[in-house]
Structure 1
Amino acid sequence: MDGATPTTTTLTELYHAYYGSTSSPTRFIKAVNSIAASNVKADSSAQLRYDPAIQADGESLEELQATLIARYPQILTSILHDESYSAARALLGTSYHSIQKFYSHSTWVEQGNVGILEGLGIPGSDLGNLAGESDNVCTSCANPQGECSANVILGSGLSTGYYEYEDEVGASFLIPKPPTGGKCSHGGALDASASQPAEGGINKDTTSPCFSPHFYLHSYAAEMAVEATDHYLNVILDAVGEEKYRRLFDLYFGSALSICIDTTGSMGDDIDAVVDQVEQIVAHSTVELYILVPFNDPEVGPLISTSDAQVFLDAVRSLYAHGGGDGPEMFWGGLQMALKATPDYGSLFCFTDADGKDGELMEGLISLAQQKHVKVTVILSDIYKKSEQTDEGGDTKLVTSVEEYQRLADSTGGLLISTDKFDVSDIVAIIGEGVETSTVTLESLAEMTGSLSVSLPIDDSILDFEVRITGVLSQAMLFDITGTAYDLTDKAALEATAGVEVISHTGTFLAVRFLSPRHGVWSLSVSASVDYALAVSATSSLDFLGEFALLDPSPPHPHYRKTEGRPLTNTVYYLEVTLVGHLESEVTRVSKVEFVDKSGTVLREIAYAGDVADQMYIRTDPLPDHSFYIKLFGHVSSGNMFTRMMPVLITPVETSVEVWASLQDLSAKPGDSASAKFIVTNYGLESFFNIYGTDDMGFLVNVEPTRIYLKNNQSLPVIATFQVPLDATHGTVSTVIVTAQSEKQTQSVNSAIAHFVVLPQESDFEPPTCSLVNDPICTGFNFNGICDTLQWSVRATLRDTGSGLYRVDAVPEGTTFGVSDFLPGTTADVETYYTATCCTTQVDIIGVDGVGNVGKCHIDMGVVGGLIYDFEVDQVGETWLVLHWNITPSDYAIDYYDLSINGVPSQHITCHDVSF
């Protein structure tokens, strides 16, 4: 018997219930948070926050529906055709914003509707009876401000409130309230129209009468918004299928193995070594997605992205060294292609023996890797020898070398490993570790010289931890809580010690794991005469996500606005901390946040005295002008201290680049062009700024101007122009990066990242049709205990005359499901055959067309009798439980129940022992 999921269950608990307690939910929570962030961004983006068709204001419901319907195929095709999940999440969050605002801004609730408007945002659906221009919808409230009730005219057409406020940028978007005296206002302290007849307002945004006249309906509107969100998700699930739906939310147990590799002529031996490594990793790791990007000169790619290990291995084995006449190669272009395909919170391994000749891409790609939380490890072989070669072709591209590779690794939490020849036995372990999914960072130090001593709190949630040190060491000693010493430079002694695993041990790199460690504070002492770096990671369910946000109190909707790109120096932010796994790890206190530089020096220390929660907002001090990591400190129930570090190196700057474009500006049909505006603002010394633009699909043809002069606190626009080839596939997504860098303060560089989507050539809002050839029958067998003794079958015909059928499916899986003569894109009839036992009485035969419209045959033979539902634990004692459950109606008497705990049979209960 399976119990219902409690409404108080956290995302982490839900994830662990399905994937197990040792698997990290961080990627899943990041995916959910990114959708939520796009939702919130609709209240901060200049092109969205004022638009009535986005915010459900000003009786613009037809425009709202049209906008949602136009975005629907962008969401679906970006998943179905391009598997660009980051773009899909961004688009999905924007649609959720409008869907949820509909219930708090419209009169849907006040008109007495008890269910959601299922057609909202769905192609082929309309919104029903809408109020006309001359229709009265509201009457005046007793006061223009504060609580107001019974001011919506029952039976009038569906409407939304008008919202007016002073804002220079928003003035061109706002729709003035008509002077008829019968239209509703949004209402609240920020709405100037609330004092115009009909006075008052209808919004249900908050529980405060100061901001929401219908505050008392907030909970009801919120419940409807949640139900509508769930409905929209189910539509997407039907359209994309279970596998791609899981990818949308980064819901999978394993991780990704992502490799980009230089295939120029000098890499022959290195390619052979990598092939050997990859074969071992595939054989011994849990990998769900394999990514391979070869880069040469001038070619980059092709990209291989597959869940099939054999396809990946065949692609790796087919690599061979060729070409590359000059020294530097297209390293950054290879990284760009690999980054697009690598899932968030993944690890990417880049192999090369050369400088990078396309260094103008570097700053934007570092920003993209940080945004995706992808750790980039660069493995170099003989680079100093090849760097001596010159580019005889006179190429003017910006050349980068070891220093820039080191910055890439430091900025993303990866490693820079330099070796004369790849040692398979050592490097394979490093890459294999990158496939693990539950790794958290405890400490990271770089560019160290001399001696250091560092404390390592090992809290109760840590299953094992690993120390990695890069450099030639004089001494490295680790001490546990009892004072027992481990000499990290003595490989033989480590290998002979129980509970210690030597992962890699060379003259310049060591990685040692400690299994089932004693919990408490360990200490590590290291000394060396040359530069070295160390990192300590652990396997744990306790982690955190951190984002900087600014509190924006301005209309139309005050909110926390997350910072995109690098944050600004000397600016006070709110650090949004999402604490992952704090319930399972029994976190009792979060005590402080530290900003520390690469050497471990504390630049800022911010105490926190608030409650422990899934999300916490911690007000920072002004950000330093040096790069830093974020460390979080606290305690668990045992009293042991915990610490976690975000591996991303944050570099505050004095420049911002913002996307100042609508979704329409960042999309076009094949053969068409489009342009999008980006705003560059300088908060530092007046200077010329160089502007760089790139995108991974080559749609970006021009960025103008390429050089601008900005005074302090001055902003200027930059226009990016796109041209979509005629043969481009709709749903293709190109990641666009626009970067601005000060010539006077070269470290002051920032980037804006956007997604450009290829639209379908023709609009298609008609779903596929589905018709049943026969009706299934389970009469007399639709009861628990006998339902599995009879099979039923059904035939159905699917057809789509627009963009053609793209996907055919049946949910749930039956005994068999057959599809005849189906090729994606077909407009001919497709015959399906489905069989199942009579235990399966509700089935959908689903057809999805090329733009994501869903058509289905729904089969419903009623509920199987005698099934248990609403299974709950009412009371708990030391040795007993009081259980409660319901049973679906049955024509047969119930004889007994079998109770299982954690899948193990526990008790056989006959019916006379049960109290009803």
Structure 2
Amino acid sequence: MVSLIIVGVILFWGAFPLPWTTAFTPLSSTGSLTHREITQMAILRKTAEVCRDIATAEGQQFTLVIDNRLTVSAVRKACSSSVLSELRFYGAILGIYLSNAAIDAVFVLSAKHHVDNEAFREGRSLITQGVASVKFSMQQGSYICARVTLGGVCHTLQDFYSHSNWVEMGNTVPFRNLTRPDLPLNNLAGPDTQTCRNCIGQNCGENILPEILLQKKLTSGYFSLFFSTKPAGKCSHGGSSDRTSTREPVGGINKDEISSSHGSYHYRAADLAINATMELLEDIRLAAGNLAFLGLMGLSRTSLLAFVIDTTGSMSNDIEVAKRVSFNIIDSRRGTPNEPSEYILVPFNDPGFGPLIRTESTDIFKERIRSLSASSGGDFSEMCLSGLLLALAGAPPFSDIFVFTDAPAKDSELQNTIEAMIESTRSRVTFMLTKPFSSRRKRGVLESQRILSRAMSQPEVQLYRDLAHVSGGQAIEVTKSTLSQATTVITDGSTSAMATVLQVMRSPAKAENFSFVLDSSLSNVTLYITGVSPIFTLYSPTGVSQSGSETDGPLGSIQTVGNLWRVKLNSDVQTGDWSISINATSYYSIKVIGQSSVDFLFHFLEQSERGDLTPKDNRPLIGENSTLFLSVTGEDSVTLTDVFLAEVSGSDTVNGTITAVGGTDFLVYLQKIPEGAFVVQMKGLLSNSSSPDRFQRQSPTQFRGSRVAIKVQSNGIVEPGNPFSLSFTLATNAAGGNYTIQARTDRNFNVSVPGSLTLDEGGSAQGTLTLIAPSDTESGSDVTLTITAVDPGSTDSNYVTLRLAVMAEVTDFTRPVCQVVKIKADCPVVCSSASWELYANLTDGNGTGIAKVFINIGNGSLSTSQVMSENGTNVTVAFYNASCCSPEVQVVAVDEVGNVGTCFTSIKRISDNNTIAIPTTNTIFSRCYFVSVSMYLLLCNLIVFFVW
């Protein structure tokens, strides 16, 4: 999935970690908490809180206990009772903590990214600019880009608690000034201030100078992989990788693991990192709103309907079929768990394509697709792959995208870029290929002037077949009159939680038997078979068989149209070992899918220069060992028995060695990457029943290894109108030569890149790319940049995909201010018989202005109006009215750049026996600056209680 979720994480090869680390371990550590666990705990707790608040507001019960023991499956079930796929929820979390882990590889020597070398101001700037970017991206619905940035921000924030002396100073709450540029960073140790003394042997427990702790001076350890120099008397990070720790004062202060220099503080540092991450997520949640926050976490997305449609003259009937199918899906599923939550439409023609329309509104989607019409089209070939590229970049990962066309691709040079996007997003592409009419209209030529068209040649069709098979989709070839019969695959594909059990393709065809396991979590099991005159027989676990010629048989119903056979198994499908024997005259493919929350995610890892396992964001190296980070969704506990790479065109496999790393996460060590295309398959046991239930899953997407690698370092932020440059390194473990370099964006931004780089055998070369976003590009937009490198013989290639945020520089970090003008309350013991009122003035000073005001806590009504103060400041006047039975309110104000202010007021107090409302008619005047929620709760309650 997750490749687009990591900005520019393309590294060199390597698989196994060295015995040293320099931050909370990214993904795996025995007995210690990792960045992965810290990030996931914070996300699950905050997501559960959001779902609890939504349930409470709707008068529903929420019984899930919110603590650090939450699982993805438990939170998903508490947040949604639908058959919502956990793949996107888990995928969103995975994307965030993989981009977190990637910081250790991409910015290995950057002090500010790890808050090393006392780089507190620089680290805070990274955090605050990053959070602003996350909020802008969420406003534009660019959740993938927001997750990338959020992961990096969380890494820097979490490293502060491991690398500084905040814990050693006795602090038990997060350092909120680190995320608040409007608050001062005081009491930092100066550049000449000595902070540490030598450790005594291996004992570093008291190496921070007592006066530093007494005076509450903030410091962090110095770190270098290569040099031992550091300012005199300064603390070091520590560990065998840190050369500075050998220079007096020797030793270190990091708390990355329990075995670290200050390992006794590890769990306290990790706990503070969790709480600080939760506070950061709360700020983002309040700025964006609950629904947008759930979208960021992948929880507001169920099924997706995505169409890429050829609008040339001969496509009139096809467009009408697409309209009917989409309207039927929308209307028949309205109000059900399988109602699409998002719609994407990309038209293409010649020479034009796009724009991409992405909406959550059924009315807007219907209007846009209803307005499509077939006209003109130039010559026979069309800009199909350009339209598909827009859809792949705009759709969430794991989407099913359906392409309607009757013409070959004019832009076939995009094949490498499309394959890179497919591997990155793990989206599936199905081509609905129809035979064209006997003529197609030429642009600018009278309708009466026609030319004879031709059917697509086999190489032209094969391009679509290849892309479909790489993605795990299909190339369905039908006549225009039978297209509507083939659209059942669209209905199936737009249903949420579809898992792939098995998918194979043979070209040329050969007689073969394939076995697969169906488990009790699967429903709506369907087989798709495409090919030229395939002959097949399906066998159940009990030996019952049904041939492909039996329309209605003992195992299911079979529908045939064009080159597609759709086998829908009966609802009482047996669990256990199934098999299918098949042959065809030219080629065939088999796909077995079913609806289930049990699925899996995986990502290739490699060893960073710091020695940790970090994500690899492109093709792994052929012949080298590698590591998979694999997560099973839908269960709280599973047993994996087999994980292997299976060759697509053969029967060879590479078996992996499995190591559990907590929950349903696993590391899988592989001895080598195959030469050809492969898929990832896994088998195991589900523990959701009294007896273990065998299950099998496969990645629908095909992958390839490569002998060339690309490494890119990027901060991921593009400023409109200004050149954005990044350097990349090309390296090979094979013969050298002249490698072709291409770079493209999904938004047609101006990109300049060297056309080629020359590598010696086993060597490397440097290149620089420059990208310019138009000056009118809206902040929060994103752009997907794909860089591909092709070897001299055009037989091998690799790529890097970067999801870059486009954002103008943010200079306003001042939060809105609240002045409570009056509280009027006369609340009797029987609270339901009366109400109370609050009046407040909300201002943003010299900031960008208040964009929205809403109630986060409280069941009353809120109204606002705009006035001008005597000094010319815009004031938002808020009036709140609620029943005395709802004695608390939290007013939230968000300005134009996402700065959040929260104001909590309560008219209740705690007595010895119960909670009672406080009767008061006093007018309370106070100037309440928006600080943290917990601090403001204390402040405002003190004000109210004192006046009373």
Which bracket does the TM-score occupy, shorter chain normalised? Answer: 0.7 to 0.9
Question: How is 1:708-723 mapped onto 2 (pairs within 5 angstroms)?
Answer: 708-723=757-772
**2:343–2:365 contact (8 Å) kept in structure 1:** yes
Please state if 1:571 is matched with 2:616. no
Correspondent of 2:75 among 8, 14, 27 = 14
* Counterpart amino acid of residue 811 in structure 1: N
Q: CA deviation digits over 1:207-246, x for unaligned, max 9?
A: 11xxx11101000000000010111000000111112111
Structure-2 residue corresponding to 1:628:
678
Map of 1:366 onto structure 2: 419
Matched, 1:135 2:193: yes
Moved more, 628-637 or 568-577: 628-637
- Asked if 1:99 corresponds to 2:144, the answer is no
Q: Name the structure 1 match of 2:604.
A: 548
SS in 1 for 2:283: helix
Match of 2:518 among 448, 458, 462: 458
Are the aligned partners of 1:590 and 1:612 in contact in 2 as well (CA < 8 Å)? no
Distance 1:609 1:221, change over 3 A: closer
Moved more, 283-292 or 62-71: 62-71
User: Relative to structure 2, which stretch is displaced further, 527-536 or 380-389?
Assistant: 380-389
SS of 1:402's partner is helix
Corresponding position of 2:299: 251
How is 1:481-880 mapped onto 2 (pairs within 5 angstroms)? Answer: 481-491=541-551, 493-494=552-553, 500=556, 504-514=559-569, 515-552=571-608, 554-555=609-610, 558-583=611-636, 587=638, 589-599=639-649, 601-606=651-656, 608=658, 613-637=663-687, 638-663=691-716, 666-668=717-719, 670-703=720-753, 705-744=754-793, 746-760=794-808, 763-775=811-823, 777=825, 779-780=827-828, 787-800=831-844, 801-812=846-857, 814-820=859-865, 828-862=874-908
Q: How far apart, CA to CA, are the structure 1 residues paired with 2:741 and 2:702?
A: 23
Aligned match of 2:143:
85
Q: Secondary structure in 1 aligned to 2:757?
A: strand
Q: Secondary structure at the match of 1:120?
A: helix
Residue 550 of structure 1, CA deviation: 1.8
Counterpart Cα distance in 2 of 1:391 and 1:345: 40
User: 1:785-819: CA deviations, max 9, x gaps?
Assistant: x5555443434443444333333332146343444
| Aligned residue number for residue 56 of structure 2 | none
Alignment match, 2:171: 113
> SS at 2:391's partner residue?
helix
What is aligned with 2:94? 33
Which sits farther off after the overlay, 427-436 or 233-242?
A: 427-436
1:177 has 2:230 as partner = yes
Q: Which moved more, 1:219-228 or 1:626-635?
A: 626-635
352-361 vs 26-35, which deviates more? 352-361
User: Quick one: structure 1 residues 122 and 737, their matched pair in 2 at CA, closer, same or farther if it must change by over 3 Å?
Assistant: farther
* Partner amino acid, structure 2, of 1:848: V
* Counterparts of 2:487 and 2:546, CA distance in 1: 24
Aligned to 1:871: none
AA aligned to 2:404 is: F
Distance 1:85 1:400 in 2: 37
- Given that 1:256 and 1:287 are in contact with CA atoms closer than 8 Å, whether structure 2 keeps it comes out as yes
Amino acid at match of 2:772: Q
How many Å apart are 1:863 and its aligned residue? 7.1
* Paired letter, 1:803: T
Contact 1:257 1:290 (C-alpha < 8 Å) held by counterparts: yes
* One-letter code aligned to 1:768: P
1:828 Cα shift? 4.1
Of all paired residues, the percent bearing the same amino acid is: 28
Q: 1:431-446 residue pairs with structure 2 within 5 A?
A: 431-446=490-505
Q: If the length of structure 2 is used for normalisation, what is the TM-score? A: 0.82
In 2, Cα distance between equivalents of 1:27 and 1:863:
43
Unaligned runs of 5+ in 2: 1-60, 334-338, 446-457, 919-948
Give the letter aligned to residue 420 of structure 2.
S
Structure 1 stretches of 5 or more lacking a match?
A: 393-398, 867-886, 893-916
Contact 1:654 1:748 in 2 (8 A): yes
Cα RMSD between the aligned structures? 3.0
Match of 1:377, SS state, is strand
Question: What aligned pairs does 1:351-390 form with structure 2 within 5 A after superposition?
Answer: 351-382=404-435
Q: Following TM superposition, by how much is the alpha carbon of 1:146 offset from its aligned partner in structure 2, in angstroms?
A: 5.0
Deviation for aligned residue 1:55: 0.8
What's 1:159 paired with?
219
Q: 1:75 aligns with which of 121, 124, 134?
A: 134
Superposed CA deviations along residues 236-278 of structure 1, whole A, max 9, x for unmatched, are: 0011111211111110262211111111222122111111111
Tell me the secondary structure at the aligned position of residue 589 of structure 2. Answer: strand
- Measure the CA separation in 1 of the matches of 2:704 and 2:364: 39
Give the counterpart of 1:5 among 41, 58, 66: 66
Give me the TM-score of the superposition, normalised by structure 1. Answer: 0.85
Q: Return the structure number with greater relative CO, CA threshold 8 A, min gap 6.
A: 2
Check conservation: 1:689, 1:707, Cα contact below 8 A: yes
The CA deviation string for residues 38-88 of structure 1, in whole angstroms up to 9 with x for no partner, is 11110001xx111111111111112111222222222211111x2211111
Comparing 272-281 with 357-366, which one deviates more in the overlay? 357-366
Deviations 1:635-690 (A, max 9, x none): 34534432110111011111122213334xx422x332221112222233323221
Between the two proteins, the alignment pairs up a number of residues equal to 827
Match of 1:419 in 2: 478
Cα distance change, pair 255–770 in 1 and its aligned pair in 2 (3 A)? farther
Aligned to 2:117: 58
Partner Cα distance (2:866, 2:143) in 1:
30
Q: Distance in 1 between the 2:840 and 2:483 partners?
A: 55
| 1:193 lines up with 2:244 in the alignment | yes
Q: Distance in 2 between matches of 1:122 and 1:4?
A: 30
Q: Give the secondary structure class of the aligned counterpart of 1:44.
A: helix
User: Could you tell which deviates more after superposition, 382-391 or 84-93?
Assistant: 382-391
Partner residue of 2:24?
none
Q: Deviations over 1:182-210 (max 9, x none)?
A: x21111222222232322211000111xx
Say if 1:631 and 1:646, in contact at 8 Å, map to a contact too. yes
Distance 2:909 2:492 in 1: 48
